[in-house]
Structure 1
Amino acid sequence: MRTFDAIIIGAGQAGPSLAARLSAAGRSVAIIERKHVGGTCVNTGCKPTKALVASAHAAHIARRAADFGVVIGGDVTIDMPSVFRRSHKITLDSRMSNERWLEGLENCTLIRGHARFEDRTTVRVGDERLFAPQIFINVGGRAAIPDFPGIHDVPFMTNSDIVMLERVPKHLIIVGGSYIGLEFAQMYHRFGAEVTIVEKGPRLVAREDEEISDAIQAVLEGEGIAVRTAAECIRFSRDGEDVIVGVNCTKGEPDIRGSDILLATGRKPNTDDLGLDAAGVALDERGYIIVDDALATSAPGIWAMGDCNGRGAFTHTAYNDFEIIAANLLDGETRKVSDRLPGYALYIDPPLGRVGMSEREASASGRRILVGRLPMARVGRAVEKGETQGLMKIIADADTREILGAAILGTGGDEAIHGVLDMMNVGAHYDDLRWAVPIHPTISEFWPTLVLGMKPVDASP
């Protein structure tokens, strides 16, 4: 048995950074990875998908060149193998950079293999047993595969598969109308595929306010993407080389015939094969590791970070998990997950940036709320760029003057949202945002305008 001060299981976004902090503090650390260093973000998530989004955006702008007075001879075509190679190189470069960094850390040992708990302080990797008084779990998640009728009778892809695709599907059917599915829908339609989105619910991205969902659907349908919502009985079958997706929608044909299927129906944690019961680590009914506000599990000396703890599903929340644990264990602080503002982005084009409460959530809280909204068609920067789809929105508490949340579906929305996010993080009131002097011409300059235009909304019980 080898002994360490700390063991980290999983080399995603939180694990390596924690290994660096612990090793710099003189602790001996073993970090165990059974597949690729970098986790979902580097290998099958952010890095490859945003590289693909960039290629799709370039194709879209090239096709719109005449709108800007730019003449391009001939049709715009897609060299998908080259698109893939560019994306995959970005992934490989990032993965190798992370590996070299880890391998160069003093007091840190990178171990390849599958880790399983034998007890609260002992982990087995192959034939080797490792001991540490502190263990940190950072095993991430994977695509969930619902038990749809006929699903195992047809070939299908998940996000991990489609980022490795070197061809453009003839007709891609995407099952799941939320964040992952919508990004791939727009991306592959811009690459030249016919795309249909099938969503069981009554609207896309149901987490968002209805006006945001409607605007997102309008963007996608405006580009020629078919959207089928209220698909209450999703089922699968084959007909020769084609795949058939049954939807039973109230409108349109009951079946959709396509060439390829992408399942984008949510994620599940990688916690089912770690031997967590042997360590006394409790899980919830969905398989996520139960943690407290400091990310400690039910087992003393064991913490869980990232997607596997159910407290965030993003790279930035996983990294913040590391920051919380490191601050508490090494810096004498008392950081808490509950202090974290929920913020995220949807990377369709134009992107959606979101922070804090939606209008629906704020109304349901029983507060007296104020809401300001502005169509992007009235934003000078958007008009100048020829990208006027979407809207800006801000929600505030009428009594406390607290900013409760904001959304921007529009060009630069993933960046412009940070003006509000930063204000909220320091506890500023909407008066502070009102009297900021943003730079012109930008998207962010309109946040004070939204504050001035806020109107009361009746709170629902």
Structure 2
Amino acid sequence: MKKFDAIIIGAGQSGMPLAKKISAKGLSVALIEKRAIGGTCINDGCSPTKTMAAAARIAHLVGRAGDFGVEVASYAVNQKTVKKRKDYIVDLFRGGASKSLEKSEKITVIMGKAIFQSSKTVLVKREGQADMEVGADKIFINTGSSPRIPEIKGLLHSPFLNSSSIMELEETPEHLLVLGGGYIGLEFGQMFRRFGSKVTVMDMASRLVPTEDTDVCEEISSIFKEEQIDTKFNIKVKKVSHSNGKITLSYDDKSGEGSISGSHLLVATGRKPSSEEMGLENIAVARTDSGHIVVDENFETSAPGIYALGDVAGSPPFTHMAYHDAYLAFNRIYEKNTSQSTKDRLVPYCVFIDPQLARIGLNEQQAKEKGISYTTGKFWMKHAGRALETDETRGFFKVLVDPESKQILGATNLSMDGGEIMAVLQMAMVGKVPYDQIQHLPIAHPTLAESLNNLMGQVKNTDE
């Protein structure tokens, strides 16, 4: 057995930065990865999906070039080239991640599947090589998550796609059925509609993105309708069948039984923590009913000396939050700095539909659930100078404000570059800048951020 100061299982967006931080202290680290360096973000998530979404946006803009006075006789989407560009970006980012790890002599990367033998030892099963046993007093789990596949009759016997395999397509689906109206389903649904597919999105919920406010859902629904993306709600799929190149979903809804057929099926029904088949039962690491590893404020599990970070530990399922977990864990465990924790930290996120859906802090339904007093402001993009100039007028800015302290409680941006503007509001929240100071702040003209003046001016008037 080879001994290290620390073992990290999973070279994702918590595992890699944590390995670098620990090794920088002169400590030895074994970084175990069973699939590919970079985790979901680089290989299956952020990098490849946003690369493909960029291609879909170009197709969308070419399709409406005439609105800007640019005459385009015709165009076609080459799905093979879209995939090739996506693969290039993934290889580029993965290669960069690998090279950054190689710079440290204290980090040993081991490719293989990790299985706990005890609370201090891990067996690594390596393909084509002998098993390897490693030990350490501190072991960190950063195994992320994987697509959740629902139990539906016939599904496993049908050629369905998940959020990873759909990006390997070299043809544009004739009719893409999307099972799941969450963020993943929305991104891929709009993407492939812009590539030229007919798209139908189906969900068990009564509306899209139910965690967002109703007005946000209504505007996204309007945008999807405009782009001819069909949506069906209150759908309970009972059976999936496959015949003659068609996939058929049989379902129940409010009107009774129904069915729909398409050329391809994307199952986008969420993700599950990757906490199985690693021997956690051997060391009594507690997990929730959903499979997330239970941790305390120091990311320590029920087994002393074993820690978990990122998606597998139930942190908000975003790359930037996994990266922040590594920052907090290192400070709390190795630097003994407990001034910051996961408690009450702001969680920004952006859904890369077009226009982008970005949020920071509370929305209205959360504020109501918590009994928090608030007032709102809303500013529609159809009134924003920059949006009008670029003909990107769909969506709105929305802010929640504490009426007494004038502090921003949260914001939702459904707009062009909504994620970039969200970061401005996030910094205002961290810096405790009152909303009325932003209202009268001279912001460069003509920029989208300038519309924050107008948004804050609407705080006590939410009419259009």
The reply to whether TM is greater than 0.5 is yes
Specify the code of the residue in structure 2 equivalent to 1:66.
Answer: G
Contact 1:349 1:411 (C-alpha < 8 Å) held by counterparts: yes
Q: 1:356 aligns with which of 346, 361, 367?
A: 361
- Which sits farther off after the overlay, 424-433 or 202-211? 424-433
Q: Deviations over 1:139-180 (max 9, x none)?
A: 010000010222123210101101111110110000000100
Runs (5+) with no aligned partner, structure 2: 126-130
Alignment partners' CA distance in 2, 1:209 and 1:227: 18
Q: How does 1:414-453 map to 2 (within 5 A)?
A: 414-453=419-458
Q: Which residue of 2 aligns with 1:165?
A: 169
Distance 1:427 1:295, change over 3 A: farther
Q: Which residue of 2 aligns with 1:399?
A: 404
Specify the code of the residue in structure 2 equivalent to 1:206.
Answer: P
Distance 1:292 1:140, change over 3 A: same
Please report the RMSD computed on the Cα atoms of aligned residues, expressed in angstroms: 1.6
Contact 2:29 2:107 (C-alpha < 8 Å) held by counterparts: yes
Contact 2:4 2:134 (C-alpha < 8 Å) held by counterparts: yes
Q: How does 1:91-240 map to 2 (within 5 A)?
A: 91-126=90-125, 127-240=131-244
Q: Deviations over 1:71-125 (max 9, x none)?
A: 22x3110111111000011001111121122123121100010001111111111
Secondary structure, counterpart of 1:197 in structure 2:
strand
Alignment partners' CA distance in 1, 2:102 and 2:280: 27
Distance 1:262 1:435, change over 3 A: same
Contact 2:439 2:456 (C-alpha < 8 Å) held by counterparts: yes
Specify the code of the residue in structure 1 equivalent to 2:359.
Answer: R
Q: Which residue of 2 aligns with 1:247?
A: 251
Q: Which residue of 1 aligns with 2:23?
A: 23
Q: How does 1:293-304 map to 2 (within 5 A)?
A: 293-304=297-308
Q: Deviations over 1:265-314 (max 9, x none)?
A: 00001101111122232111100011122222122112111111112100
Q: Which residue of 2 aligns with 1:42?
A: 42
Secondary structure, counterpart of 1:254 in structure 2:
strand
Alignment partners' CA distance in 2, 1:413 and 1:175: 26
Shift of 1:326: 1.6
Distance 1:184 1:253, change over 3 A: farther
Shift of 1:434: 2.9
Q: Which residue of 1 aligns with 2:61?
A: 61
Q: Deviations over 1:4-41 (max 9, x none)?
A: 00000000111111111111110000000001000101
Specify the code of the residue in structure 1 equivalent to 2:457.
Answer: L
Q: TM-score, normalised by structure 1?
A: 0.96
Alignment partners' CA distance in 1, 2:412 and 2:390: 20
Shift of 1:452: 2.3
Shift of 1:438: 2.1
1:90 correspondence with 2:89:
yes
Contact 1:38 1:95 (C-alpha < 8 Å) held by counterparts: yes
Contact 1:33 1:110 (C-alpha < 8 Å) held by counterparts: yes
Q: 1:272 aligns with which of 254, 269, 276?
A: 276
1:308 correspondence with 2:307:
no
Contact 1:228 1:249 (C-alpha < 8 Å) held by counterparts: no
Specify the code of the residue in structure 2 equivalent to 1:428.
Answer: V
1:376 correspondence with 2:381:
yes
Q: Deviations over 1:338-361 (max 9, x none)?
A: 142021011011111101111111
Q: Which residue of 1 aligns with 2:128?
A: none
Secondary structure, counterpart of 1:55 in structure 2:
helix
Contact 1:200 1:230 (C-alpha < 8 Å) held by counterparts: yes
Secondary structure, counterpart of 1:159 in structure 2:
coil
Distance 1:170 1:130, change over 3 A: same
Alignment partners' CA distance in 2, 1:376 and 1:252: 39
Alignment partners' CA distance in 2, 1:450 and 1:226: 32
Alignment partners' CA distance in 2, 1:25 and 1:205: 44
Alignment partners' CA distance in 1, 2:413 and 2:83: 30
Alignment partners' CA distance in 2, 1:450 and 1:429: 13
Distance 1:234 1:431, change over 3 A: farther
Specify the code of the residue in structure 1 equivalent to 2:221.
Answer: Q
Shift of 1:129: 1.4
Q: Which residue of 1 aligns with 2:296?
A: 292
Specify the code of the residue in structure 1 equivalent to 2:435.
Answer: Y
Alignment partners' CA distance in 2, 1:10 and 1:306: 10
Q: Which residue of 2 aligns with 1:9?
A: 9
Shift of 1:368: 2.1
Alignment partners' CA distance in 2, 1:261 and 1:143: 14
Shift of 1:251: 6.0
Alignment partners' CA distance in 2, 1:247 and 1:221: 22
State the aligned residue count.
456
Specify the code of the residue in structure 1 equivalent to 2:266.
Answer: L
Q: Which residue of 2 aligns with 1:263?
A: 267
Shift of 1:234: 4.5
Alignment partners' CA distance in 2, 1:170 and 1:406: 38
Alignment partners' CA distance in 1, 2:161 and 2:292: 24
Alignment partners' CA distance in 1, 2:270 and 2:450: 35
Q: Percent identity?
A: 39
Q: 1:388 aligns with which of 389, 393, 399?
A: 393
Q: Deviations over 1:48-85 (max 9, x none)?
A: 1000001011111111111111122x311011111100
Secondary structure, counterpart of 1:433 in structure 2:
helix
Specify the code of the residue in structure 1 equivalent to 2:323.
Answer: Y
